[in-house]
Amino acid sequence: MLWRDLKVWQVYGANTDVGKTIVSTILCRALQRRASPNGLLYLKPVSTGPQAEADDRHIRHHVPGIVSQCISQFSKPLSPHLAAQLDGDASIAASDHDIVRKVKDHLAKHSQAGGRYAILETAGGVLSPGPSGSVQADLYRPLRLPTLLIGDSKLGGIATTISAFESLHIRGYDLESLIVFDDPQWGNYGYLEKHFSRHDIPTVALPLPPPRRQDPRDDEAVLSDYYQECAESTAVTSLVDHLHQKHFSRTSKLTSMPSQAEAVIWHPFRQHSIPHNIIAIDSAYGDHFQAYNQESDDALASPTPSHSGLTPLAAHAPPKPLLTPLFDASASWWTQGLGHGNPDIALTAAHAAGRYGHVMFAHAVHEPALDISYNLLSTLQNPRLNRVFFTDNGSTGMEVAVKMALRASSLRYGWAKDEGSAPVAILGLKGSYHGDTIGVMNCSEPNVYNEKVDWHQPWGHWFEPPSLIMRKGKWELSIPEEVAAVELTQTFDSLDSIFDFATRKDDAARYQAHIEATLTNLVRDQGKRFGALIMEPLLMGAGGMIFVDPLFQRTLISTVRSRPELIGDPVENSTNTSKADWSGLPVIADEVFTGLYRLGRASSSSFLSNPEDFGTPSASSSTQPPLPSSIAPDISVHAKLLTAGLLPLALTTASESIFQTFLSSSKADALLHGHSYTAHPIGCMVANKALDEYRRMDNDGTWENMKRPWSPSTLSVSTSSSPVYSFFPPTLVTTLSHHPRLTGCFALGTVLVLKVASEGGGYNSSATASLQARLLTLLNSEGCGIHSRVLGDIIYFMTSLTTTPEQVERLSKTILQALDHE
Amino acid sequence: MLWRDLKVWQVYGANTDVGKTIVSTILCRALQRRASPNGLLYLKPVSTGPQAEADDRHIRHHVPGIVSQCISQFSKPLSPHLAAQLDGDASIAASDHDIVRKVKDHLAKHSQAGGRYAILETAGGVLSPGPSGSVQADLYRPLRLPTLLIGDSKLGGIATTISAFESLHIRGYDLESLIVFDDPQWGNYGYLEKHFSRHDIPTVALPLPPPRRQDPRDDEAVLSDYYQECAESTAVTSLVDHLHQKHFSRTSKLTSMPSQAEAVIWHPFRQHSIPHNIIAIDSAYGDHFQAYNQESDDALASPTPSHSGLTPLAAHAPPKPLLTPLFDASASWWTQGLGHGNPDIALTAAHAAGRYGHVMFAHAVHEPALDISYNLLSTLQNPRLNRVFFTDNGSTGMEVAVKMALRASSLRYGWAKDEGSAPVAILGLKGSYHGDTIGVMNCSEPNVYNEKVDWHQPWGHWFEPPSLIMRKGKWELSIPEEVAAVELTQTFDSLDSIFDFATRKDDAARYQAHIEATLTNLVRDQGKRFGALIMEPLLMGAGGMIFVDPLFQRTLISTVRSRPELIGDPVENSTNTSKADWSGLPVIADEVFTGLYRLGRASSSSFLSNPEDFGTPSASSSTQPPLPSSIAPDISVHAKLLTAGLLPLALTTASESIFQTFLSSSKADALLHGHSYTAHPIGCMVANKALDEYRRMDNDGTWENMKRPWSPSTLSVSTSSSPVYSFFPPTLVTTLSHHPRLTGCFALGTVLVLKVASEGGGYNSSATASLQARLLTLLNSEGCGIHSRVLGDIIYFMTSLTTTPEQVERLSKTILQALDHE
């Protein structure tokens, strides 16, 4: 919540009974000197104890004319979570969401009434529970109000004050000032002043409040004098100046960020000569950014002059908040798992930083690295994999995967690096994307991303894959020309039936014939050499959100594995003795985008499996069975969701067979790859926490409400595996598939993809730009817009793994609304 | 501090007066039931108040037979930092280092005497200041003892208890259990039990201590009964069992980590078929790891059986701690800046995580990204640079740099990507290394790192650079054969005189002639196309720690810039109007390793500059003057030290001229590169903090003691720039240069390089392995070994930027000792 004119501060105490209300009173009196009588609002969202002694009354009494409000008053003088329980109405008045909404409403109303200042006083200490039981610093976090901390001036107060600050700080609050009573007996002020100045936070000392008198009238008078003196003191006057200054610098920094960025930042994937609205992100929480949108602000600040000579309308419009909440519908480039600003993740990151920082990983090991290795392998349940290599992002993780696979196949087939012949190539699919480093760019066919990269050398063959999309309520298979000769099933009644490979045996045979013919032509006839089969299982992301027919990918793997002679002749003794030996080609699954529950399952390779791969059906369980060895990749790459959406880390997993390729008596044969921050503990520890949470949600039924509407009514697919499903309900997808503005759509896991009707299309298309712009400014009932990303004529929406069905519903409604507006 | 048999716990309070001593007494009584009378030690390192009421006395009284010790007793009942000041002897008895050393000594002695348990009770709250003023959780952090937290059971105690835990957690402590008095009036126990179970930390409830009686004898008896009951209670018995269990699982996990790692981890740069000692790092603080070294532990655990039939000596040897401190002398692969486990850095990381998590950077901006952009540019002081591009590590940062430069030169010289001709190549130096992704591997000449990478295609020409090393007190210039024809200065009296380019004009002219002849041959005669000049200024790291003659690099830049016709003919209208336009070739400085004060200066490119580059000398100042435009790179890449040694982030900076190359009306012409975690806020915010600290240290004289001995006595070099210097003193370097085991050495900034005499040499050499192994086990007077890395026949040592001269001296002594042992 941020306005240009209304300044709001929240007051926290380092402990209970440190004088929050006394300081709030002083502040209100000092602020009142700068505002009109009703320009000042005091809010006490939660109060416990008898009403007669309530803080809002105290304030009203001592700051005449102030608007002073308590939102929830509980009668017992206990911690609010207990008081709320005892008062019995906890469930309604006391939900976090409800309190935050009411605070927002009060502040918005105050702003509209021309309010200049508001003070929000919390209850107890920084981490005292609110009525629902959430600690207050978490409860109020969506508002992220600038904060004043009242220090503890008693013995031991240095410790409680600094700890309280640290708890606020790791939750992303800005502490504007520390305020302490200067009790010479303990001398906390001097120490704290020095400590907080290291964090650039000023400390204000106030005289101790007068001791209580016998006679309440004396008490009253003495207290009133004390308040008056304090409010007029230099310390408080400077504090108020400082608070104004901070407000001013925050708003001016925020509003100037877009233009400052233009001067110095070279944005990824941006054509800088095309003007673009830059969103300034102030902070983020859960699925939402708090963002300053220059375009909508400009519209307000410089209204079109009215020709009639009347004052433009905007001048009369109520002040608009500078920050708008935006649903992060690209999941911040497909990374978000447990929500932005997650306090448990922040704490985990800090623990790793405090215990290790970063430590050298060559010939060394530490607990977080070891734990995430075992954790990832047991999450993937791929019987081939047992080795983990660490790098920093999906692109570097794929570079390592390619180095692994090419070495393995070159050794087996006796291919040497040779000036004369072209490098060993890879097999892949058209529409692939494996990252931005040049080596993995070479794994993709020539396309818009790589055509201008001078060193891009496409080394491979890319099959055009059959793909799926829903149109007018039907799942349609798009069959590329190169396979169009064969006769295939063209439509499906349900998402589920696409995956019912048992009923699609004829299609599989036709795919296989096409693949065999192609390979024979490439290898036997053209003499090409292939060293790896690389695929993004089920969904190709950056290539344009292509939902690949899983049967085609499955058949590609099985054909390469069952007909190794199509690839080449192994040199003698080259076949590995490992039981996880590969056949034909090492299969690399690029699960950077699709894995770790992005599409609803731990490993996206599992979408290529079928119950019959196992022989006897596995025991019924809500979780996914292990991957069948027949379709399991030999190498898989994981990043993005791996670290819950906090920071870069990638893991490349490999089979023992691939690993053994690099063994010899020479150091020069080792995999000579390693980035400086390899296996940085902070990434590993956060990844462990993330995987634990994901698996917990998978097991405890968190996603049942999303799965249920997608469950097939008649099952030829075994019930032992979880259904193919999406966070977006099937009714929404069906509705969208009939929308005249769209030429198709689909949803898988947390991803919803819409293909927008347009002329031209392609990466340079701007057909989707107006829809994207509309979504940014079309606010839903909660005042929230949608921040989405487009890929040519595709617009997609993605949630985190903690997004609730209610949030998905709001998102869906807004999307439909925006489409209808077009 | 960790032993197999001796178990040590530290007791912290969530606030002062929460019952630490009462709980300690109960624990001691419970533990005494499991140990011999002198098997139990109670330590109170710091105590304030009258001795008669001191905690150690209370313990001695209530736990008869216990060894109970107070290390520093201050008479005033105040916070220790004030009490120490008042007692006047603060400076000696109260330094953090001294307290930690004494605690270590007591614990070691206790272990040697067969001690089984020790309890260390802290004073006040978790962050109460110790005698020096450091907060206790920082003061005791080097020991990282397993921790018990005594919760606050009063009103408000939920908040103080959780905050206290968070302060411990972000400092890397393991909290084994929370202990609270179950006061039904406030009900904190129930809430805390639930909260801490989410962190897998059990909470133990104890009955409230009996109220004080009038008659001290009553008091005594009641208290004694209370202690007895508690000590024998199920809650405390289970707690003690739990603590044993935790100790056991920690030691067994630690000792099994190396073998667990062998089963699953694919280590970077490791030939897994060659057995290698794996160091298990338990934690790290400042410049040190706390590590379990399997080799030295094995030697103890399975002593060689004695043929005489006597019990092997080791069985009588005193118990060895499981953890050894090791000086991190590779600075964890060249990353460390502000020390491991730095609490300010951990807090900064957590703040960014709490405020943002990660947020989308395409078409968006946030404060930490904007701040680090301006901060880095103003730190580098390169007049050409004004654009910042974000990636995740040095290798990806260099990939971007190469993409930038090749596009710029291809456009200027009208070179198209063309099937027939070889890709545009780069100019570099032999011995270069720019990272492990395939694109930047192509920037290095064929060498051991890339020869086995199937897709490595060396596209460039690499000059063999003249290099420097000190031998027998003299700086010698090694002149490669290709330039040997020219007559050059061969030795230098001082490090400083190497950089005195004004006196080396003849050398420069000879270098220039060689470079011009080479380019003429390559471009005119062989028709080669070059698109970038890439260099690691001054020191080539992974290529073998080669100290390149800065005059050669300087001359290479100036020749390429002053003779653009040697490279090619610009196509019409291709020359940029920007004042930062490049000439000849875009110059890329790979400062990933050498920059940001690793070699003593903000930008390592500044070593190639000379006062006369500026015309008039700049005003005298202790900081570095801006880079002269003549030698300033057009693109520079920064990582490693950028984030203070915490986590991966890289910045590629570029000139406006390079930036403008990518401008057009087509999105396809943009730099289409961007990793998911591009500009992740946690990395940006930590980098800001790091640069601020580095610049502060550069300006406030922190490094003066290191600079002074290197300052040239007679100066032809201007005093306005800081001297070329090293953290390692010149006397050490001179001594080492005479050592018979070495064939040369040098020191620059935080780096000391020794070339070890050996047959063969090269990357596969193991000549340095025995020296490295010796350093690991040869403990100095503080019981600390050295963890170093080797590169063939090179062994190097590297400090962080906060390493003190005293630490460098200890390091130097041990190095000399290890060499003499050989």
Distance from CA of A779 to the nearest CA of B (A): 19
Q: Please say if the pLDDT value at position B762 is more than 60.
A: no
Q: For the complex shown, is ipTM > 0.90?
A: yes
What is the per-residue pLDDT for B703? 95
Residue B260 lies in a domain: no
Q: B228 and B83: one domain?
A: yes
Average of pLDDT values for B539-559?
97
pLDDT tens figures, B342-393: 999 999 999 999 999 999 999 999 999 999 999 999 999 999 999 999 999 9
Contact A332 B263 (CB under 8 A): no
Nearest-Cα residue of chain B relative to residue A143: B355
Q: Which of B252, B274, B307 delimits the end of a domain?
A: B252
Contact A170 B406 (CB under 8 A): no
Residue whose structure tokens are 């039931």:
B33
Is B788:B772 a contact under the CB 8 Å cutoff?
Answer: yes
Closest CA to B709 of B798, B814, B596, B809: B809
Q: Please say if the pLDDT value at position B718 is more than 50.
A: no
Is B657:B576 a contact under the CB 8 Å cutoff?
Answer: yes
Q: A660 and A739: one domain?
A: no
Q: Please provide the average confidence, as pLDDT, over all residues in chain B.
A: 91
pLDDT tens figures, A541-576: 999 999 999 999 999 999 999 999 999 999 977 666
B385 to B49, B636, B724: CA distances (angstroms): 60, 8, 24
* B295: confidence class by pLDDT, cuts 50, 70, 90: confident
Q: Got the DSSP string for A326-390?
A: EEETBHHHHT-SS-BT-HHHHHHHHHHHHHTSS---TTEEEHHHHHHHHHHHHHHT-TTEEEEEE
* B722: confidence class by pLDDT, cuts 50, 70, 90: low
Question: Which CATH number goes with the domain that contains B594?
Answer: 3.40.640.10
Contacts of B410 in chain A (CB under 8 A): 454
Domain of residue A766, residue span: 267-341+702-710+723-822
Between A315 and B107, residue with greater pLDDT = B107
Distance (Å, rounded) from C-alpha B647 to C-alpha A676? 9
Q: A44 and A185: one domain?
A: yes
In this structure, of A306-320, A610-624, B72-86, the range with the lowest mean pLDDT score is A306-320
Q: Nearest CB to B353: which of A126, A270, A345?
A: A345
Contact B17 A339 (CB under 8 A): no
Residue A478 lies in a domain: no
Backbone angles phi, psi at A457, to 5 degrees: -130, 100
- DSSP letter, residue B525: I
Nearest-Cα residue of chain A relative to residue B334: A676
* A614: confidence class by pLDDT, cuts 50, 70, 90: low
Distance from CA of B279 to the nearest CA of A (A): 5
> Over pLDDT 70: what percentage of chain B?
92
Residue B509 lies in a domain: no
Contacts of A78 in chain B (CB under 8 A): 155, 186-187
What is the per-residue pLDDT for B84? 85
Question: Which CATH number goes with the domain that contains A90?
Answer: 3.40.50.300
* A600: confidence class by pLDDT, cuts 50, 70, 90: very high
Alpha carbon B330 to chain centroid, angstroms: 8
Contact B347 A170 (CB under 8 A): yes
Q: Please say if the pLDDT value at position A620 is more than 50.
A: no
Q: A228 and A288: one domain?
A: no
What is the per-residue pLDDT for B310? 42
pLDDT tens figures, A54-110: 888 999 999 998 999 999 888 888 888 888 888 775 555 578 999 999 999 999 999
Residue B433 lies in a domain: yes
Q: Please say if the pLDDT value at position A759 is more than 80.
A: no
Contacts of A325 in chain B (CB under 8 A): none
Closest CA to A404 of A667, A678, A675, A672: A672
Our count of domains for chain A comes to 3
Contacts of B264 in chain A (CB under 8 A): 370, 373-374, 377, 386-388
Contact B268 A333 (CB under 8 A): no
Contact A349 B350 (CB under 8 A): yes
Work out how many CB contacts closer than 8 A connect A with B.
619
A598-631: b (≥16 Cβ within 10 Å) or e: bbbbbbbbbbbbbbebbeeeeeeeeebbbbbeeb
Contact A82 B187 (CB under 8 A): yes
Distance (Å, rounded) from C-alpha A751 to C-alpha A601? 13
Distance (Å, rounded) from C-alpha B529 to C-alpha B516? 15
Distance from CA of A728 to the nearest CA of B (A): 22
Average of pLDDT values for A504-511?
92
Contact A162 B159 (CB under 8 A): no
Q: What angle, 0 to 180 degrees and rounded to 10, lies between the N-to-C axes of helices B216-232 and B55-62?
A: 70
Burial of A2 (0-12, 13-18, 19+ CB in 10 A): buried
Contact B341 A364 (CB under 8 A): no
- List A364's β-bridge partners, or say none: B279
Average of pLDDT values for B552-564?
97
pLDDT tens figures, A777-788: 888 888 899 999
Q: B682 and B764: one domain?
A: no
Q: Please say if the pLDDT value at position B313 is more than 80.
A: no
* Test the A interface: residue of B266, B402, B433, B451 with most A CBs within 10 Å: B266
Q: A589 and A731: one domain?
A: no
Q: Please provide the average confidence, as pLDDT, over all residues in chain A.
A: 91
What is the per-residue pLDDT for A156? 93
Contacts of A284 in chain B (CB under 8 A): 355-357, 359
What is the per-residue pLDDT for A313? 43
Round to the nearest angstrom and report the end-to-end CA distance of chain B. Answer: 30
Distance (Å, rounded) from C-alpha B705 to C-alpha B712? 14
What is the per-residue pLDDT for A432? 96
Average of pLDDT values for B652-677?
95
In this structure, of A77-81, B128-132, B234-238, the range with the lowest mean pLDDT score is A77-81
> Over pLDDT 70: what percentage of chain A?
92
Q: Nearest CB to A79: which of B158, B170, B659?
A: B158
pLDDT tens figures, A159-218: 999 999 999 999 999 999 999 999 998 899 999 999 999 999 999 999 999 998 888 888
Contact B647 A334 (CB under 8 A): no
- Residue B344 tokens read as 């300010």
Sheet of strand A203-206: strand arrangement: A67-74, A40-48, A117-125, A7-13, A147-150, A175-181, A203-206
What is the per-residue pLDDT for B309? 43
Contact A333 B393 (CB under 8 A): no
pLDDT tens figures, A412-444: 999 988 767 889 999 999 999 999 999 999 999
Residue B333: CB atoms within 10 Å: 26
Q: Nearest CB to A269: which of B332, B449, B670?
A: B670
Contacts of B345 in chain A (CB under 8 A): 353, 357
Q: B391 and B293: one domain?
A: no
* B311: confidence class by pLDDT, cuts 50, 70, 90: very low
Average of pLDDT values for B496-505?
92
Contacts of B675 in chain A (CB under 8 A): 268, 393-395, 435-436, 648
pLDDT tens figures, A226-249: 999 999 999 999 999 999 999 999
Distance (Å, rounded) from C-alpha B534 to C-alpha B588? 5
Question: Which CATH number goes with the domain that contains A815?
Answer: 3.90.1150.10
Residue B177 lies in a domain: yes
Contact B266 A654 (CB under 8 A): yes
Q: Nearest CB to A359: which of B162, B191, B340?
A: B340
Distance (Å, rounded) from C-alpha A443 to C-alpha A429? 10
Q: Which of B252, B279, B299 delimits the end of a domain?
A: B252
What is the per-residue pLDDT for A314? 44
- List A330's β-bridge partners, or say none: A798
Average of pLDDT values for A143-168?
97
The dihedral region occupied by B309, where left means phi > 0, alpha psi between -120 and 50, and beta the remainder, is left
Contacts of B662 in chain A (CB under 8 A): 271-272
* A719: confidence class by pLDDT, cuts 50, 70, 90: very low
Q: B217 and B116: one domain?
A: yes
Distance (Å, rounded) from C-alpha A234 to C-alpha A242? 12
Q: Which of B252, B278, B304 delimits the end of a domain?
A: B252
Contact B669 A265 (CB under 8 A): no
Considering the entire predicted model, what is its pTM?
0.95
Residue B458 lies in a domain: no
Burial of B98 (0-12, 13-18, 19+ CB in 10 A): middle
Q: B820 and B757: one domain?
A: yes
Q: Nearest CB to B159: which of A128, A353, A367?
A: A128
* Test the A interface: residue of B135, B191, B358, B588 with most A CBs within 10 Å: B358
Q: A394 and A532: one domain?
A: yes
Contacts of A125 in chain B (CB under 8 A): 156, 158-160, 163
Q: A59 and A192: one domain?
A: yes
What is the per-residue pLDDT for A410? 95
Q: Please say if the pLDDT value at position B338 is more than 70.
A: yes
Residue B469 lies in a domain: no
Distance (Å, rounded) from C-alpha B373 to C-alpha B355? 19
pLDDT tens figures, B772-818: 999 998 888 888 999 999 998 999 999 999 999 999 999 999 999 99
* B465: confidence class by pLDDT, cuts 50, 70, 90: very high
Contacts of A438 in chain B (CB under 8 A): 399, 402-403, 437-440, 442
Residue B496 lies in a domain: no
Q: Please say if the pLDDT value at position A341 is more than 80.
A: yes
Distance from CA of B502 to the nearest CA of A (A): 36
Q: Nearest CB to B16: which of A156, A273, A334?
A: A156
Contacts of B352 in chain A (CB under 8 A): 172
* B421: confidence class by pLDDT, cuts 50, 70, 90: confident
In this structure, of A448-452, A682-686, B237-241, the range with the lowest mean pLDDT score is A448-452
Distance (Å, rounded) from C-alpha A363 to C-alpha B307? 35
Closest CA to B66 of B36, B44, B46, B107: B36
Q: A607 and A739: one domain?
A: no
Q: Please say if the pLDDT value at position A486 is more than 80.
A: no
Contact A271 B663 (CB under 8 A): yes
Contact B169 A449 (CB under 8 A): no
